[in-house]
Amino acid sequence: MDTARADALAARDRLSVRGWISARNETFRHLPPPGADLWLGEAAESTAVGCDAPPLAGAGWTLHPFGDTPQSGVHARWLDASDPAQRTELFAGLPLPGEGDAAPFAWAHRALCRQGLRLQVGSASGADAGRTVWLHLRHQPRASVEAPLLVVEVQEGVRCVLLETHEREPAQCGRRLAQNLHIHLQIRQGATLQHLRVATPDAGDQIAHIVQARVDQGGHYAQALVASGSPYHLQRTVLELQGSHAHARTAGVLLARGAALEQQVHTTHHAAHTHSAVEALVLASGHAHTVVNAHTVIAPGADEAAVRQRLSGIPIEGRPRLVLRPHLEIHHDNVQAAHGATWGALPEDALFYARQRGLDESSARALIIEGMATALLERCFDDPDLLATLTQDGLLARAIARHLAPSEESRHG
């Protein structure tokens, strides 16, 4: 019996019984996702437009040098989910989708997943404790409808800096992409993972990236996200602070120009002395539809837990729709919690002083926006070398330049 195929068919059957995300689902009501047929490949285009080469013949996950740092201390396994033994290894230890708000995405992923990568950073014996491992992980799509998987385990006491990028190659086939990516992270006791994610889909792509991170005692996880809009683009992070003194921070720079983009950050404090912070800066223009949904739960017994949520939105031009939703659910008394949401225009005085230095309006805006975004990322990370990567490689500047470039929507009203 082909157990890999049986598992995929069982997931598809479970999805058909449970149904897709309903219009009454509170988590997704502001920006409902496309139906299950898109994520399962049943609504795929029959032909590719302008493609002479095999469609989306990308390389999948690839590891690249990060500056001058060696990539030692990393065990990587590229696994084929259609092979029963490799599928078992790929999904080992991962939770079943369950019945949560986003469970249909997980069932659809399990039904369609064809390949994945498992990374172990550091030695399970503890021999690598105290060292820093630098990784640059790139993903290129392999099919027009796909469900890639990434599993990363940072061993006890190890510090890892991970740059993860999703930028389509210019010469790659122009077929539209439907991508349901799932990432599972395990930060062991005393380990640290600083995770910079860049997701800039093409204009026709429909994207759902779901990151689940479990942080053990004394572990630290920091995620900075730079993302741009598309017809549908969801970035969802689920953080489980399982051990005492576990810390998690997320910062999102969201750029939507006449497109859709949603970031969800769901955090649960399960233990005492845990800390979390969520911060987002949304820059929207045209008829963009953007949503930031931050939901933090402090469980009973999470003594002296500390939570902060800070969401900001800036409409650049046109009439974008911005929805900012900070939310706290507190089941314990002895905690510290603060949340807030603000939106408004770019600071006029900063624009004035930038123009006084001889910059034109578009250059002045780009400079101010890049400064605001960099400041947000600096509050998330404490590593100047990692932030320098944004400047040296131009990742942040390129994303902002694309956002501020004149669009057909603005030219034609």
Give per-residue pLDDT as tens, 57-85.
666 899 887 766 666 789 999 999 999 99
132-136, 203-207, 261-265, 288-292: range with lowest mean pLDDT: 132-136
pLDDT confidence band for 171 (50 / 70 / 90): low
What residues does 224 pair with on adjacent strands? 196, 251
Amino acid at 373: A
- pTM comes to 0.92
CA distance 287 to 317: 9
- The sign one gets for the Cα dihedral 44, 47, 48, 53 is positive
State the Cα torsion 309-253-256-238 to the nearest 10°: -60
321-330, 353-362, 381-390: range with lowest mean pLDDT: 381-390
The length of the chain in residues reads 413
Tokens for 85, please give them. Answer: 């033994």
pLDDT confidence band for 411 (50 / 70 / 90): very low
Instruction: Decide: residue 17, CB within 10 A, 0-12 exposed, 13-18 middle, 19+ buried.
Output: exposed
CA distance 264 to 192: 22
CA distance 409 to 376: 29
* CA angle at 70 for the pair 68 and 74, rounded to the nearest 5°: 145
* Pure H helices in 31-158: 36-39, 84-91, 103-112
